């Protein structure tokens, strides 16, 4: 089924490219035909939902095309009334298809412009916005939260907090059930490098004194930068004294199902829910 969808989507993209190629000629009828079949093909359901690579690619597009108005983290820019796109899922209960249409058509009478992306590119943007959206986990399956507490302490607490206890290399997970869907949380745990949480980019630092340090970048300006290193310490450097290199891999280890089963992950999430009194 997925494969079929991919074939449909990619042949459709080719078709659209063919349609575009004809546009400069005066074959108006042909252009019209192409347009009608594009509209007829538009899908209701995001064929890339929960796909970590699509989310990543959508994030790249977002930063290039949307961040000037909506902010790099999609939380909006008040001075120009560009809304917080992480809150819209919960506040307005949009479907993926409605957000698709807004991105493609823009909002008439406002500065929100229409966009000439391919269908696949728009779905990638929708996937990205879902991944940063505050839609949260609905109906978390019940699992053993006592077991979850033990698993969390053994495997996660080194880098993550729930409420206040735990490490600071990774984000506080207290509100992760309110911010991310179950598919996104699972993707974060199984393939952490596919979508790095903003504010947690992995870096390597080589100091003139010969030190070689890994950590996540917290702040950077023209002369200095700050990281949290893998010993959970906040450290500041002058650019004069150290070279900063960005890494593609997350500092979070990937947990395969053989190391942490689906049931065990659910146990951890049940623990987070009970520890934070979250009602997602």
Q: Is 130 a residue that touches ligand HEC (CB under 6 A)?
A: no
217 binds ligand HEC (CB under 6 A): no
Enumerate residues 29-88 that contact ligand HEC by CB under 6 A: 65-66, 68-70, 81-83, 85, 88
Q: How far is CA 29 from the centre of its chain?
A: 41
Q: Which residues contact 122 (CB under 8 A, 6 or more apart)?
A: 100, 103, 104, 115
Q: Does 227 bind ligand HEC (CB under 6 A)?
A: no
Q: Is 250 in the site for ligand HEC (CB under 6 A)?
A: yes
Shortest Å distance, C-beta 218 to ligand HEC: 12
Helix (H) or strand (E) run with residue 165 in it = strand 165-166
Give strand pairing partners of 245.
Answer: 204
* Residue 255 near ligand HEC by CB under 6 A: yes
In this structure, what are the phi and psi dihedrals at residue 48, rounded to the nearest 5 degrees?
-110, 15
Q: What angle do CA 228, 200, 268 make, to 5 degrees?
A: 100
Shortest separation between residue 86's beta carbon and ligand HEC, angstroms: 10
Q: Does 181 bind ligand HEC (CB under 6 A)?
A: no
Residue 250 CA to residue 227 CA, distance in Å, equals: 14
CA distances from 80 to 68, 90, 111 (A): 10, 22, 9
State yes or no: residue 251 binds ligand HEC (CB under 6 A): yes
Residue 103 binds to ligand HEC (criterion: CB under 6 A):
yes
Could you say whether residue 182 binds ligand HEC (CB under 6 A)?
A: no
Say whether residue 176 binds ligand HEC (CB under 6 A).
Answer: yes
* Helix segments in 191-261, DSSP class H: none
Site residues (CB under 6 A) for ligand HEC?
Answer: 65-66, 68-70, 81-83, 85, 88, 92, 99, 102-103, 107, 110-113, 115, 125, 155-156, 158-160, 169-171, 176, 180, 185, 188-189, 192, 196-197, 200, 216, 250-253, 255, 260, 268
């Amino acid at each position: 089924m997925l494969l079929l969808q991919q074939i449909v989507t990619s042949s459709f993209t080719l078709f659209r490219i063919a349609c575009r190629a004809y546009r400069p000629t005066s074959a108006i009828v042909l252009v019209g035909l192409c347009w009608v079949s594009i509209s007829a093909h538009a899908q209701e359901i995001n064929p890339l939902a929960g796909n970590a690579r699509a989310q990543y690619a959508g994030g790249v597009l977002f930063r290039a095309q949307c961040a000037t108005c909506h902010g790099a983290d999609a939380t909006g820019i008040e001075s120009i009334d560009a809304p917080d796109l992480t809150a819209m899922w919960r506040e307005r209960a949009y479907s993926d298809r409605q957000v698709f249409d807004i991105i493609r058509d823009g909002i008439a009478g406002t500065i929100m412009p229409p966009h000439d992306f391919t269908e696949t590119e728009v779905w990638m943007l929708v996937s990205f916005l879902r991944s940063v959206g505050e839609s949260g986990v609905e109906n978390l399956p019940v699992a053993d939260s006592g077991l979850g507490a033990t698993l969390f302490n053994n495997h996660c607490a080194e880098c993550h907090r729930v409420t206040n206890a735990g490490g600071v290399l990774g984000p506080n997970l207290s509100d992760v059930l309110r911010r991310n869907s179950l598919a996104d949380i699972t993707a974060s745990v199984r393939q952490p490098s596919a979508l790095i949480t903003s504010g947690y980019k992995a870096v390597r630092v080589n100091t003139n004194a010969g030190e070689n340090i890994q950590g996540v970048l917290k702040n950077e300006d023209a002369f200095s930068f700050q990281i949290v290193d893998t010993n959970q310490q906040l450290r500041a450097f002058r650019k004069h004294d150290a070279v900063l290199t960005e890494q593609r891999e997350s500092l979070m280890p990937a947990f395969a199902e053989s190391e942490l089963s689906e049931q065990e992950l659910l146990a951890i999430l049940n623990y987070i829910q009970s520890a934070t009194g979250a009602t997602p």
